[in-house]
Amino acid sequence: MSVGDVSKRILLGRKLRSSQLGETLLPKRIALPVFASDALSSVAYAPDEIFIMLAIAGTSTYVWSWKIGLVVALVMLTVVASYRQTVHAYPSGGGDYEVATVNLGRNAGITVASALIVDYVLTVAVSISSAAQYAAGAIPPLIGHEATVGVVAVAILTAMNLRGVRESGGFFAVPTYLFMVAILGMCAYGLLRLLAGDLPQAESAGLTIQPSPGWEEPLTQVGLMFLLARAFSSGCAALTGVEAISNGVPAFRKPKSRNAATTLLLLALIAITMMMSVIVLAKQMTIRYVDPHELDRLRSAGGGAVPADYDQHPVIAQIAAGVFDHFSPGFYFVITVTGIILVLAANTAFNGFPVLGSILAQDGLAPRSLGSRGDRLAYSNGIVFLAAMSMLLIWVFDAETTKLIQLYIVGVFVSFNLSQLGMIRHWTRHLRTETDPANRRRMMRSRAINTFGLGMTAVVLVIVLLTKFLAGAWITILAMGFFFLLMQAIGRHYARVELELAADEQDKVMPTRVHAIVLASKLHKPTLRALAFARATRPNVLEAIYVSIDSKATTRLMEEWDERHLDIPLKVLHSPYREVVRPVVEYTQEIRRASPRGVVAVYIPEYVVGRWWEQLLHNQTALRLKGRLLFTPGVMVISVPYQLRSSLVAAEREKRDEERVHAGDLRRGRVAAPEPGRQVDDL
């Protein structure tokens, strides 16, 4: 009786990649801006944080600023060198999470994942807070309302990402390159004026800074070391985002790994150049910069307090104002693109989060529905979660970058460390089997790089923890712990279910008979269709069931039934209390009891409507009945849909929804193919 004895397998594929979806791989010049905005944007706040920390002991420590910058640059180069090994060894785009899971086990992977989740939230919070400060610098009425500006900006980003923005390379390339041009151009012009000897002083140059209480001169050796360590760990904010490329290797053109590695190096060189230029220029323009909460430590030249309405502009803004002192469009250009790049950096978190979610879902650490693209609900929930958390942070910390920075970086360096450790294990394992001397040499070299990287990042992590734990990092660690436990619990649940579901031999038993019942509420098209479909499956028993809650309607139905000569018996279940679900469930249980090895097939005619309010008016009982029948063993529930005209509306809507661009598509190598007659703007 069974059909199809030959196990034929047809591999569909290309065929289904139809319609408007296409795949475009990114050339280096587009990949750089797509993945770099997060890393580059930190130049907008990292130098500021270095100056703020140094200013704790007054201006004398400012001599250390460019040295700290150099150390940060050194760390960045080390980290990038390490990641260049990663993109070669793990070209699948799993990034730190994959490296840690494969080499160090599941718990290390979960730790990295927790760190990444927390970091995505902080990327949004820090970038948007910084952007709000730039906005307030350019538009004075916004001063004092930075938190509101930030929350509104996050809300707009959220709406855009929920809606699905058609991202293209150009979307990222234009502002990112403009930002590079703006910062590097400004610095080059500034350095030129420095050489020419007419570099103006910064607007804050005339001020002096009073040391914080307890940090007055002369500093002890230990005190100075601690101060420099704090400044350094704040400066390490410049490193956030460099790992993005290691998650995006599959989106690169071939040779993927090499291109990704080259882009990484390029990114590092640009980021370092920008950061160092900004620090050097700031130093040369004798900038004075303190924690925005302690503006009263600023003293005017005469030693008096600065005016109460003194507004401290970000470092880049002060440099731009000085360098372009006779050319205000230059100033506004720098400020504007800086603001834009910061928003773009926040947007990368909205793109990266769903990608991370899908990887975690595949490994059973997050709801599986996150794993398939386009689960609107899961996907939207992720975006809304990210937005809500970052809004909360912006609101609680009043959009003060300096405070949020204290929470940042811990997560980044946790994943850096685990990733490096994983890479060392990776090379050691491969060295065990590799015999080719050239390969072995390469691997040894890679391992050396990763070992150096681990040493470096471990030291940084310790410094960060020591200097920032009480200042806010404990919040991050708490949050990471929470996500760690949550993912572990989800993982355990899935494992338990899998065990319970594992097939054994017994499961091959076929049901002996099929007893089909069709639920009839009226004798209309949906019922007739369900009867026809049910009959087409040739069950052993076929009957229609009607739950009677009104004797007049029952009589009418029975008459119609007879008139139609339907040849299918109609069974009436009386329900004196107007219950519909219970009598049907009890009836199926009864059938099942009578033949325990048979199966009851319950056919439910459903009409499919298109509008949400129509949903409220129809099928509610069918829905509830299906829900209850699922709990009844030996029952299968068959929905026989009848599409009403209005269902076309919904079918169209569903289709549009599915074809819509989703945040993160671009970095998964999935971009919208150009519409006919439209320019390809990203190739």
Pick out residues in 538-577 that bind a copy of itself (CB under 8 A): 538-543, 549-550, 558, 561-562, 564, 567-577
Q: Which is nearer to a copy of itself, 88 or 618 (CB)?
A: 618
Q: Which is nearer to a copy of itself, 193 or 256 (CB)?
A: 256
Min CB(634)–a copy of itself separation in Å: 9
- Binding a copy of itself by CB under 8 A: which of 301, 438, 502, 594? 502
Size of the site for a copy of itself (CB under 8 A): 131
Measured distance CA(37)–CA(201) in Å, rounded: 30
Q: Which residue has the tokens 């929920």?
A: 162
Whether the bond between 255 and the residue before it is cis, its omega within 30 degrees of 0, is yes
Binding positions for a copy of itself, 477-496, rule CB under 8 A: 490, 493-494
Neighbours of 201 (CB within 10 A): 14
- Binding a copy of itself by CB under 8 A: which of 258, 299, 440, 618? 618
191 sits near a copy of itself (criterion: CB under 8 A): no
Binding positions for a copy of itself, 575-614, rule CB under 8 A: 575-583, 586-587, 599, 601, 603, 606-609, 614
Q: Which is nearer to a copy of itself, 372 or 439 (CB)?
A: 372
Residue 238 · residue 76 · CB < 8 Å: yes
274 sits near a copy of itself (criterion: CB under 8 A): no
Min CB(284)–a copy of itself separation in Å: 52
The secondary structure element, H or E, covering residue 517 is strand 514-519
Q: Give the tokens for residue 438.
A: 């050239």
Nearest to 181 by CA among 309, 337, 346: 337
- Binding a copy of itself by CB under 8 A: which of 216, 296, 654, 681? 654
Q: How far is CA 362 from CA 118, 166, 181, 283, 367, in A?
A: 20, 26, 41, 49, 9
656 sits near a copy of itself (criterion: CB under 8 A): no
Residue 549 · residue 522 · CB < 8 Å: no
In DSSP notation, 588-626 reads HHHHHHHSTTSEEEEEEEEEE--SHHHHHHSSHHHHHHH
Stretch touching a copy of itself by CB under 8 A, among 35-43, 232-240, 243-251, 651-659: 651-659
Residue 165 · residue 150 · CB < 8 Å: no
- In this structure, the strands spanning 541-548 and 570-574 are parallel
- Binding a copy of itself by CB under 8 A: which of 216, 296, 498, 559? 498
8 sits near a copy of itself (criterion: CB under 8 A): yes
- Binding a copy of itself by CB under 8 A: which of 50, 281, 460, 523? 523
Stretch touching a copy of itself by CB under 8 A, among 115-123, 134-142, 445-453, 499-507: 499-507
At 544, the amino acid letter reads A
Q: Which is nearer to a copy of itself, 25 or 573 (CB)?
A: 573
The secondary structure element, H or E, covering residue 514 is strand 514-519
Phi/psi of residue 619, nearest 5 degrees: 65, 5
Min CB(308)–a copy of itself separation in Å: 43
470 sits near a copy of itself (criterion: CB under 8 A): no
At 169, the amino acid letter reads G
Min CB(488)–a copy of itself separation in Å: 14
Burial letters 254-289, b for 16+ CB under 10 A, else e: eebbebbbbbbebbbebbbbbbbbbbbbbbbbebbb
SS3 state of residue 10: coil
Q: Which is nearer to a copy of itself, 88 or 373 (CB)?
A: 373
Q: Which is nearer to a copy of itself, 81 or 359 (CB)?
A: 359
Binding positions for a copy of itself, 325-364, rule CB under 8 A: 358, 362
Stretch touching a copy of itself by CB under 8 A, among 49-57, 82-90, 334-342, 632-640: 632-640
Q: Which is nearer to a copy of itself, 60 or 540 (CB)?
A: 540
458 sits near a copy of itself (criterion: CB under 8 A): no
At 640, the amino acid letter reads V
- Binding a copy of itself by CB under 8 A: which of 104, 323, 341, 640? 640
Helices 65-89 and 410-433, axial angle in degrees (round to 10): 40
Measured distance CA(157)–CA(149) in Å, rounded: 12
624 sits near a copy of itself (criterion: CB under 8 A): yes
Decide: residue 328, CB within 10 A, 0-12 exposed, 13-18 middle, 19+ buried: exposed
Measured distance CA(108)–CA(103) in Å, rounded: 9
371 sits near a copy of itself (criterion: CB under 8 A): yes
- Binding a copy of itself by CB under 8 A: which of 501, 593, 594, 677? 501
Min CB(658)–a copy of itself separation in Å: 6
Min CB(378)–a copy of itself separation in Å: 6
Q: Which residue has the tokens 């970086």?
A: 409
Neighbours of 41 (CB within 10 A): 31
Q: Which is nearer to a copy of itself, 432 or 538 (CB)?
A: 538
- Binding a copy of itself by CB under 8 A: which of 195, 222, 308, 617? 617
At 305, the amino acid letter reads A
Decide: residue 225, CB within 10 A, 0-12 exposed, 13-18 middle, 19+ buried: exposed
> Could you give the string, one character per residue 376-415, with x where binding to a copy of itself holds by CB under 8 A and - elsewhere?
xxx-------------------------------------
Min CB(399)–a copy of itself separation in Å: 33
Q: Which is nearer to a copy of itself, 1 or 301 (CB)?
A: 1
Q: Which is nearer to a copy of itself, 4 or 677 (CB)?
A: 4
500 sits near a copy of itself (criterion: CB under 8 A): yes
Residue 127 · residue 346 · CB < 8 Å: yes
Q: Which is nearer to a copy of itself, 225 or 489 (CB)?
A: 489
Q: Which is nearer to a copy of itself, 562 or 681 (CB)?
A: 562
Min CB(549)–a copy of itself separation in Å: 7
Measured distance CA(308)–CA(217) in Å, rounded: 27
Q: Give the tokens for residue 659.
A: 């074809």
Q: Which is nearer to a copy of itself, 404 or 557 (CB)?
A: 557
Min CB(373)–a copy of itself separation in Å: 4
The widest CA-to-CA distance across the chain, in whole angstroms, is 106
- Binding a copy of itself by CB under 8 A: which of 162, 471, 533, 660? 533
- In this structure, the strands spanning 298-299 and 208-209 are antiparallel
Q: Give the tokens for residue 78.
A: 């080390």
